Amino acid sequence: MFTGIITDIGHILELEKRGDLRARIGTSYDTSTIDLGASIASDGVCLTVIALGDDWYDVEISAETVEKTNIGQNFWSIGKRVNLERALKVGDELGGHIVSGHVDGVAEVIAVEDEGDSTRVTLRAPEALAKYIAPKGSVALNGTSLTVNEVDGCDFGINFIPHTKEVTTWGDVEVGHKINLEIDTLARYVARLLDMS
């Protein structure tokens, strides 16, 4: 489990297609404190550490994960910056919202507009997921816990303050970017209960 509070910006050092896709991710984390088998959310995708170096870790990414995330849309490439978060520990501050690292789908950035020092980003969610996104509700986008400003059909808006743009990859956002979307777990269960009644 994660909170959607990004604690490092990593970068893709290597990508190798074997049976699955293997990625090496550079990090400023103290890798001596990371165990093999640990989970690290990388752009919101919960991935298992399979090898470690002084300033990097390796993960294997299954075909299913590649297909369901922006990784499969050729968005990951050598040098790409990715949002990183280590798994939640008992006693950690819950500054964002509960995030599983299981991406539900891929949203597309359709507008980026500066508003003062902040940036308003409008995204288009897949139609099947749009019903789970509500104004003032939470979503995880590329692993970042965010509050939805407004919703119009499949489109929804997020406001990024300068701090968020500095400590995540959201300062790099452009129209057309494909974004890993994880809907709020509570929204999923409420919708399921309503469907059953």
Per-residue pLDDT at 197:
66
What does the pLDDT look like over 69-120, one tens digit per residue?
Answer: 999 877 899 999 999 999 987 767 777 788 889 999 999 999 999 999 999 9
Which of 54, 86, 118 delimits the end of a domain?
86
114 and 190 co-located in one domain: yes
82 and 12 share one domain: yes
Please, are residues 170 and 158 in contact by the beta-carbon 8 Å criterion? Answer: no
Instruction: Give yes or no: residues 133 and 179 share one domain.
Output: yes
Say if residue 162's pLDDT is above 80.
yes
Q: What is the pLDDT of residues 116-132, one digit of tens each?
A: 999 999 999 999 999 99
pTM for the predicted model, two decimal places: 0.92
Domain range enclosing 175: 105-196
| Pairwise CA distance, residues 140 & 43, whole Å | 10
Number of independent structural domains in the chain: 2
How many whole angstroms separate alpha carbon 150 and alpha carbon 153?
Answer: 10
**DSSP 3-state assignment of 19?**
coil
